[in-house]
Amino acid sequence: MSTIYLNTVINADIHYVFDLARNIDLHQQSTSKTNEKAIAGCTSGLIEENETVTWRAKHLGVYQNLTTKIISMEKPIQFTDVMQKGAFKSICHRHIFKSVNGKTLMTDIFEFESPLGIIGKLFNAIFLRGYLKNFLLKRNELIKTIAESSTYDGIAIF
């Protein structure tokens, strides 16, 4: 199992950042380079606990589908999504939010395991871990940019 830890400090209200992080439309905007689209389940707006979303995206030259489910949510403190179906052996992504001196600390703990045993572990070490970290950093950069340039009114603005 590989784990990616990311901390992003955002100068915005915790409730707003929380909503941006679970916004399906924003996620699609942040992944435009991989042509990621929500094709089933919750396909727009804010995803909620026990809802699923199926993503279709082109990664490494191949279109793939990935279905995840929000298995826990405590607004605006955390939510966790896990893979239900997809190319990985497993994925668990914990999103944690903490208000610190008027800012929001957004923490991602992204755990994943590739199939194919030792070959998958080698692929993780050589390429996949860095690829996924960069993918998450781009998403977080967009959340930060939007959150810091918009006024929270309960609706994601972008």
Query: Does the predicted model carry a pTM greater than 0.85?
Result: yes
- The whole-number average pLDDT for the span 69-93 is 97
Using pLDDT thresholds of 50, 70 and 90, give the confidence band for residue 34: confident
- The whole-number average pLDDT for the span 3-30 is 96
Q: Which of 18-22, 45-49, 61-65 shows the lowest per-residue confidence on average (mean pLDDT)? A: 61-65
The Cα 35–Cα 46 span in angstroms is: 20
Q: What is the pLDDT of residue 151?
A: 55
In terms of Cβ atoms closer than 10 Å to its own Cβ (0-12, 13-18, 19+), residue 9 is exposed
Query: 19 in helix, strand or coil?
Result: helix
Q: How far is CA 32 from CA 28, 57, 70, 72, 135, in A?
A: 6, 9, 22, 27, 11
Task: Specify whether domain 2-149 bears CATH 3.30.530.20.
Answer: yes
| Residue indicated by tokens 């030259």 | 61
